[in-house]
Amino acid sequence: MHRSDIFSPYSFESTITICISQICGYKKLIDDITTLRKSPYLCENNEHEEKLQKLWNLLEPDEPLEARVTKQWTTIGFQGSDPKTDFRGMGLLGLENLVYFSKESTDLARSVLLQSRNPAHEYSFAIVGINITAMIVDLLLKNHLKNHFYNSIMGEPTIEDFHNIYICIFNDFHKHWLKDKPGIMNFNIYKEKYRRILLEKLRRKDCVLTLGQAS
């Protein structure tokens, strides 16, 4: 691009339009994410139940559920027999993130789940996933995701973009966990350590998180 092109009225107007779209889009994304986070999981809602069943089918396609309430849920990292209790903090957003990850990056999600069961570095896949959701929501609300979105999206970021950064961060956290093996009893301490590492990346002016980023 020539210097004259950079400072042409058209280029300037386009740049301003993109910037305004990014800023307004970021604010709208906060509103959309907040709405999902505040929407509770309801057993009487067939759509919610179908999404939960879809999560199971994606992660355990060869193992049918014996019942709606069953200890089988613990095999994909929920705390007890009924996953609905684990969604209280993040609402439908926690489920949406897990389903999106399992649908759009199925092989990766299954691989992460399988490795999370290894006694040498085990953790609860679904519970950690919901914790990752909470972490990213906090980063979004505190404007720490702006550099990533502004550098990677020429327009308004969407909920799908939020889901995609969720996959990147979950996978990155997983790689750090496997490398350091902190132990499940130290999860909260390690989560904060990882958050500080992530913040260093997000504060870079040229930050763009990708699935294949270096740990």
From the first residue on, what is the mean pLDDT of each consecutive set of 10 residues in the chain (215 residues)? Answer: 41 67 84 97 97 98 96 98 96 98 98 97 98 98 95 90 97 98 97 98 96 60
The answer to whether position 166 is within a domain reads yes
The answer to whether position 126 is within a domain reads yes
The answer to whether position 150 is within a domain reads yes
The answer to whether position 81 is within a domain reads yes
**What's the domain range around 77?**
3-202
SS3 for 81? coil
The answer to whether position 181 is within a domain reads yes
pLDDT at 18: 66
* Cβ atoms of residues 124 and 188 within 8 Å: no
pTM for this predicted structure: 0.89
The answer to whether position 179 is within a domain reads yes
* Cβ atoms of residues 83 and 52 within 8 Å: yes
The two tokens of residue 155 are 């327009």
Residue partners of 172: CB distance under 8 A and separation at least 6: 198, 209, 213, 215
What angle in degrees, to the nearest 10, is found between the helix axes of 106-116 and 91-104? 110
Distance from C-alpha of 209 to C-alpha of 116, rounded to nearest angstrom:
23
Residue partners of 143: CB distance under 8 A and separation at least 6: 26
pLDDT at 76: 98
Report the domain count for the chain: 1
Distance from C-alpha of 159 to C-alpha of 31, rounded to nearest angstrom:
10
Nearest to residue 94, comparing CAs of 162, 146, 144?
162
The two tokens of residue 207 are 């930050």
pLDDT at 17: 63
pLDDT at 6: 39
The answer to whether position 212 is within a domain reads no
